[in-house]
Amino acid sequence: MGGVEKPALKQFVNNLKSLPSAASEVLLGGGLPKSDRERSQLSFHNFFLHMQSVRVHKHSLRWSYTLGLGIIAAASFVILVVTGVLLMIYYKPSTELAYFSIKDINYVVAGGRIVRNAHRWAAHIMVISVLLHMARVFYTGSYRRPRELNWLIGLALLIITLALSFTGYILPWDQLGYWAATIGANIAQSTREITDVLGITRILDIGGLQKGFLLGADFVGEEALIRFYLLHCVFLPGALVTLLGVHFWRIRKDGGLCRPENIDRPGTPEYQALEPEEFEPGPSKTYGLMALVGGRRPAALTAPENTVMAWPNLLYAEAAVFMLTLAITLLLGYFLDAPLKEMANPMVPENPAKAPWYFLGLQELVSYSAFMGGIGVPTIVLLSLALVPFLDRKGADAGIWFGGTAGRRVFWQSILFGTVVTVGMLVLTIREGWLRTWFPDIPQLVIIILNPGTVLVALYAWWSIFNIKRHDSIRIGAIAMFTVFLVGFILLTYVAAIHRGPNWRFYWLPSQWPPH
Amino acid sequence: MSDHSEKQDISRRDFLTKSALASVVIAGVGALAGAGAFSKPAVSPGPSRKYKIGEPEEFPVGTAVKMEKENIFLFHDEKGFYSLTAVCTHLGCIVSQSENGFTCPCHGSEFSKDGAVKGGPAPRALPWLKMSLTPDGKLMVDADQEVAPGTKLEV
């Protein structure tokens, strides 16, 4: 027995000695890779690296194509998760303690101020980059087959991002948050405007049901705060992480980012723009294995390899974008404090009570009709966005900004049209009022159907159909529609942010607001 | 054996597969419905909204005050007492008194002195609230019960 014991002990000591190299073998697969071959091996076998393909097309790496927006959005989400979990250490979701726990985080906790500010700024950056990322994907026509599903997932991610921002806005339980929650819950309830007109509210009170689910009571209080807290910290981030995983995975499955059709065809302008290496075509052959992956099958030996290693080319670019996002977030967070108003007071609303900036356009619409502005128009916009990949299906112009010069021209024309129509409508509404000013006894249903918001939507829809006809191109009609809605969103947000004062009246400058 | 199986419309394997699938669907729908019913508030907790606001003598004819805590307006004219809610019918902000009636700070709804909508997005008039006298002779406003506009309490 003694004879066996000795070698085992020796082995044990030896194993102990070689722990560092064994650990690096398991964790890093034997040190950092030195060749492309080793890097691709590691990319295959590492969970985090295998999210992107080993090789990436040169076209997908161009800044002028992606602008890095998707990565900025993902980077800001990572920052939000880290700072958010830190904030949860001290935050107390109770109407009596929430406000003071935020004060503690701001003034007492070491580094608390910068963590809260960074959370706030990363949230702003996420909303902006998600919106711009959607615009990039739209204007490059990247929603087309086979990427319809990823476009829909992207829309869901946009909604979740906005919902996360809204629920987070409420948690400090200050005047801003309290009145935002009140207005939000009443927008959910505003479906009653329709059921009231139909006279079926007693049987089917959808509005009341929605408000009940959101608030857990008839008023904004403890139950509501717990529900918003749960949505913000568990339910919505969980949904977002799940869908984000699918979103990334679909990029691989759809054959990488959308590219122009001719990008790998020697002699075309798209191909020349990549500055390809000299190439001698060989006998025609295709990669059979690539049939496992969706998308076009690349022809082997008939065109040069226009892909490069994702590590380092893509990986380092992503790391750089992440670090840049982090740097901007921390800088903003260091110099600019997140707002915190007085503690929530159910007796006195803020005057004016303004929503966070990305909802101000909606608030302007809500000031025409609660149901149409808060539920009707957003539903129409989201539905049209969801339908785009199914209505605009074919064409050789995918992967090209605006699909070419004609689309680019329509983009500028749409900016002009959208500005004129939207500003005209705003001037009319602000100077002359709307139907109720002229006919005080007008039924509510008429206002719901015919208000500045719905008139604008109708004009925008007309403009996009007009462009489909004029250019005989669905893609151009889609560009026209997206652009006028974008212009409308920006202009309504601007007017609500700068020119709306107490009682939602129009003022040129906040300095002209009456004392109150 | 073959004779027997030809008479069957559905094979045993298909039957079992379909029942298993059906049970998954039923469990899924049931779980969703259960979670929905669970999160729908069963009771609506909250303070009573019947407010005892004082002796009638405290509010002489010509009174027009806002009760901050209760979010109601109280008026007293020659014909009697009446009360309007201060909660805007648009999106629930608190309206304030203006020269010609009431205005809402959030989205600019305007109401006349009797609560009717005069401008802005409000879908309906400010409700008049039920007023009564308690047995000990005090004024009471029930913020959960509406009465027809013009209903006044004579004391």
| Assembly ipTM | 0.79
Q: What is the pLDDT of residue A297?
A: 52
Average pLDDT rounded to a whole number, residues B126-130: 90
Rounded to an integer, what distance in angstroms lies between the CA atom of residue A86 and that of residue A53? Answer: 33
Rounded to an integer, what distance in angstroms lies between the CA atom of residue B127 and that of residue A270? Answer: 67
Characterize the bridge pairing of strands B117-119 and B110-112: antiparallel
The DSSP letter of residue A140 is T
Among A406, A416, A417, smallest CA distance to A461 is for A417
Q: What is the pLDDT of residue B50?
A: 84
Least confident range from A58-62, A111-115, A289-293: namely: A289-293
Average pLDDT rounded to a whole number, residues A439-467: 86
Contacts of B119 in chain A (CB under 8 A): 433, 436-437
Q: Do B118 and A440 touch (CB under 8 A)?
A: yes
pLDDT band at A291 (very low <50, low <70, confident <90, very high): very low
pLDDT band at A60 (very low <50, low <70, confident <90, very high): confident
Q: Mind listing the pLDDT tens digit for each residue in B70-85? A: 888 988 888 888 899 9
Q: What is the pLDDT of residue A417?
A: 94
Average pLDDT rounded to a whole number, residues A397-420: 89
Q: What is the pLDDT of residue B23?
A: 96
HSE, CB side, 13 Å, CA atoms: give it for residue B113. 8
Least confident range from A85-94, A128-137, A346-355: namely: A346-355
Which one-letter amino acid corresponds to residue A356?
A: P
pLDDT band at A356 (very low <50, low <70, confident <90, very high): confident
Q: What is the pLDDT of residue A1?
A: 47
Query: Which candidate from A179, A190, A217 shows the least CB-CB separation from B45?
Result: A217
Q: What is the pLDDT of residue A85?
A: 96
Q: Mind listing the pLDDT tens digit for each residue in A331-343? A: 999 999 988 888 8
Least confident range from A106-120, A301-315, A397-411: namely: A301-315
Question: Which residues, including other chains, have CB under 8 Å from residue B89's CB and lie 6 or more apart?
Answer: B109, B117, B122, B123, B124, B125, B126, B127
Which one-letter amino acid corresponds to residue A488?
A: G
Contacts of A440 in chain B (CB under 8 A): 118
Average pLDDT rounded to a whole number, residues A342-368: 83
Average pLDDT rounded to a whole number, residues B85-101: 86
Q: What is the pLDDT of residue B1?
A: 46
Mean pLDDT across chain A: 85
Residue A148 has a CB neighbour count (10 Å cut-off) of 16
Binding-face residues of A in 327-386 toward B, CB within 8 A:
346-353, 363, 366-371, 373
> How distant is the Cα of B151 from the closest Cα of chain A, in angstroms?
21
Average pLDDT rounded to a whole number, residues A134-158: 92
Nearest residue in B to A176, CA atom: B106
- B140 vs A: CB within 8 A: no
* Better-scored residue on pLDDT, A303 or A18: A18
Displacement of CA B1 from its chain's centroid (Å): 68
- A502 vs B: CB within 8 A: yes
Question: For chain A, what is the total number of helices (H) and then of strands (E)?
Answer: 23, 4
Binding-face residues of A in 167-186 toward B, CB within 8 A:
179, 182-183, 185-186
Q: Do A367 and B120 touch (CB under 8 A)?
A: yes
Q: What is the pLDDT of residue A276?
A: 62
Q: Is the pLDDT of residue A179 over 60?
A: yes
Q: What is the pLDDT of residue A295?
A: 52
How many CB contacts within 8 angstroms connect chain A with chain B? 97
* Better-scored residue on pLDDT, A16 or A50: A16
Strongest mean pLDDT among A192-201, A268-277, A467-476? A467-476
Q: Do B91 and A505 touch (CB under 8 A)?
A: no
Least confident range from A432-446, A483-497, B17-31, B98-112: namely: A432-446
Q: Mind listing the pLDDT tens digit for each residue in B46-61? A: 777 888 888 888 888 8
pLDDT band at B3 (very low <50, low <70, confident <90, very high): low
Strongest mean pLDDT among A247-256, A352-361, A473-482, B108-117? A473-482
User: Using an 8 Å Cβ cutoff, are A503 and B108 in contact?
Assistant: yes
